[in-house]
Amino acid sequence: MLLTFIYSHCPDVCPLIVSQLRNSLLKLGTQSSRVQIVAVSVDPDRDTPKAVNAFLAARDTTGRMEFLIGSKAQLAPVWKAYGIEVESTPEQREVGHTGLVYGITASGKRRGLYPANLQPSWIVHDVPILAAS
């Protein structure tokens, strides 16, 4: 599994992460079925089903990626468990957050950590390792 924390109104880093994850799936070809991509919202106020669906559709990741939303009370423990810092601006235009992707093994262990500007070749290399662990 590849796990990341994003929001649908993000102007820069989140679309980059999703684009690189999509490119990773394309490079994986038939092996892409071995990978589950999960995104957790860092903007519980604005990440509605409609906003998330539009975000996924615009990035050709509908059906290729799960985007989990919920209330701040529901999401904050998940952020904390992964060391994700979330800070929104007073005018709610941008949400500052940790921009990482976690590589999680089939048995649930965190084995990889990728920056926002990850290279698809890294994912292609690591998927067999994550799937076998």
Which domain CATH number covers 77? 3.40.30.10
In this structure, the number of other CB atoms found within 10 A of the CB of residue 14 comes to: 24
* pLDDT higher than threshold 80 for residue 100: yes
Domain count for the chain, please give it.
1
Mind listing the pLDDT tens digit for each residue in 20-47? 999 999 999 999 998 999 999 999 999 9
Mind listing the pLDDT tens digit for each residue in 44-87? 999 999 999 999 999 999 999 999 999 999 999 999 999 888 88
Range(s) of the domain holding residue 85: 2-132
**How many whole angstroms from its chain centre is CA 113?**
12
Residue 102: which pLDDT band, with cuts at 50, 70 and 90? very high
**How many whole angstroms from its chain centre is CA 92?**
21
User: 């799937």: which residue's tokens?
Assistant: 131
Q: Quote the tokens at residue 130.
A: 């994550």
* pLDDT higher than threshold 80 for residue 15: yes
